A and B are shown apart, each in its own frame.
Chain A
Amino acid sequence: KNEVEQSPQNLTAQEGEFITINCSYSVGISALHWLQQHPGGGIVSLFMLSSGKKKHGRLIATINIQEKHSSLHITASHPRDSAVYICAVRSKGNKLVFGAGTILRVKS
């Protein structure tokens, strides 16, 4: 079993829909990151969380430390949100352990 599990693996949505991507982890962590990766592009850091909730524009990230679970929400989705969204956790030793990613496609 991977230390970081994401769901769904693939997600197709219509423009304007509310989107949720989930991340569960099995190790103790000091922080959790949500990252965005466009095809052929590098990785952009969206959020870093250690507790509670953060919001940036149409993106919201939440984390429940007790349940070892985090969610990334996108409100009013747009085709330009199409990308791979990756959850990564920082456990011991400062290195990140990544989930396999969620491929999001938003259709107009």
Chain B
Amino acid sequence: GAGVSQTPSNKVTEKGKYVELRCDPISGHTALYWYRQSLGQGPEFLIYFQGTGAADDSGLPNDRFFAVRPEGSVSTLKIQRTERGDSAVYLCASSLRAGGQGEGYTFGSGTRLTVV
């Protein structure tokens, strides 16, 4: 597509429920990144994929969070047993490839998750 697409744009869920957030990167971009932005703060790294594999998942806060990218394109961030503290904007970005000094990022518009 022309840009990075994230769906849904907004998601309200009850505490304890399971949610899935989707990211559709720019066609041909092999690197895909997930970040989380809490209110009033800068984004924080969660995980990034190079192709189908998670190259670095050190930012995932606990085992309730999981992400997949089975075909090396669309990625899904999955959150189990949601907690109110999970409320944030979840941002996805993609780049042509990871590594090197020349790779710019394109960000999606984010998914605003609210856990009530």
In contact, B42 and A43 (Cβ under 8 angstroms)? no
The closest CB in chain B to the CB of A42 belongs to: B109
Known: A50-B101, A95-B59. A42 touches B48 (CB 8 A): no
Question: Which residues of B sit under 8 angstroms from A101, Cβ to Cβ?
Answer: 41-42
A94 interface residue (CB < 8 Å to B):
yes
**Contact of B42 with A98 in the complex, beta carbons under 8 Å:** yes
Q: Are B31 and A94 in contact (CB under 8 A)?
A: yes
A23-38 near B? 1/0 per residue, CB < 8 Å: 0000000110101000
Interface size class of chain A, counting residues whose CB lies under 8 Å from the partner chain: 20 to 34
Determine the distance from Cα of A42 to Cα of B3 in the docked complex, in whole angstroms: 11
Given contacts A31-B101, A96-B105, 15 further A-B contacts (CB under 8 A): A31-B103, A43-B91, A43-B93, A43-B107, A43-B110, A45-B106, A48-B104, A94-B48, A94-B56, A94-B99, A95-B45, A95-B59, A96-B43, A99-B42, A101-B41
Residues of B in contact, count (CB < 8 Å): 27
List chain B residues, Cβ under 8 A from A86: 42-43
Shortest beta-carbon distance from A100 to chain B in Å: 5
Chain B contacts with A in 45-67, Cβ cutoff 8 A: 45, 48, 55-56, 59
Give chain A nearest CB distance to B101 CB in angstroms.
5
* Interfacial chain B residues near A48, Cβ < 8 Å: 104-105
Q: Which residue, of B43, B56, B110, has the highest number of chain A Cβ atoms within 10 A?
A: B43
CB of A44 closer than 8 Å to a CB of B? yes
* Min CB gap A24→B, angstroms: 14
